[in-house]
Amino acid sequence: MSVKSTSVKPITARAPSFLQAVGAVVRKDLASEFRSRELLSAMFLFALLVILIFNFALELNARERGEITAGVLWVTFVFAGQLGLNRSMAIEKDRNCLDGLLLAPVDRSAIYFGKMLANLLFMLIVEAIVLPIYSILYNVNLFHPGLILVIILGSLGYVTIGTLLATMAVYARTRDILLPILLFPVVVPLLIAAVRASSAFLQNLSMEFVWPSLNLLIVFNLIFIAVSYMTFDFIVEE
């Protein structure tokens, strides 16, 4: 009577794929934020205060308000976004979560893209709430498909470079001051293109006035997504 021998295969943990790692970071940030609501609340209140200040400080007629709408909108988005970027990385550092993320058996660029997409979602949520409020206060119709496209492209470029620089600044003692000093000079071309394209859509200008700014937004996004992908690993190593 013979007994068949069976071999037991060792159980090995398979590392998650790149997209799975990105999705896990995004879900972690969303779950953490929707439990505490610290980040979205701060961004929304800050954006609302900026809009109210502009509303009462600028005593303008309807035509003049329409001309400055693009500039006021992007000033609001930029400062609210900067607050969110700084806070999102500071929470990771203060809770010692950043070291745990870096120890995960995944490509570190997946951590960057997860944080960047989460920051983009937070910024778009705040913008979606701000737009109708701005429309009511300034009596301006902002629900233009072209304007929405510009806001998405501009926000993507802003959080792309902002997440990278926030990761760099989070290790400094003066991170709250360092991030805007690093970020604002870099995003000047993006903001100029976003304001020009937004203003052109709001004034119903032809596409020949819009394409140069749209092309600049697209090129800016592609360049800094590639730069962030290549440099994030070196930044977190330092």
Q: Are 189 and 202 in contact (CB under 8 A)?
A: no
pTM: 0.86
Per the structure, the complete domain to which residue 28 belongs is given by: 18-237
For residue 13, being part of any structural domain is answered with no
Q: Quick one: pLDDT at residue 77?
A: 93
For residue 64, being part of any structural domain is answered with yes
For residue 205, being part of any structural domain is answered with yes
For residue 40, being part of any structural domain is answered with yes
For residue 11, being part of any structural domain is answered with no
8-12, 125-129, 217-221: segment of lowest average pLDDT: 8-12
**How many domains are contained in the chain?**
1
Q: What is the pLDDT of residues 57-97, one digit of tens each?
A: 776 555 666 678 888 899 999 988 888 888 888 777 766 67
Chain CA centroid to CA 126, Å: 11
For residue 10, being part of any structural domain is answered with no
For residue 8, being part of any structural domain is answered with no
For the chain, how many residues are written? 238
For residue 134, being part of any structural domain is answered with yes
Question: Which pair of structure tokens corresponds to residue 19?
Answer: 């997209």
Question: Which pair of structure tokens corresponds to residue 156?
Answer: 């993507």
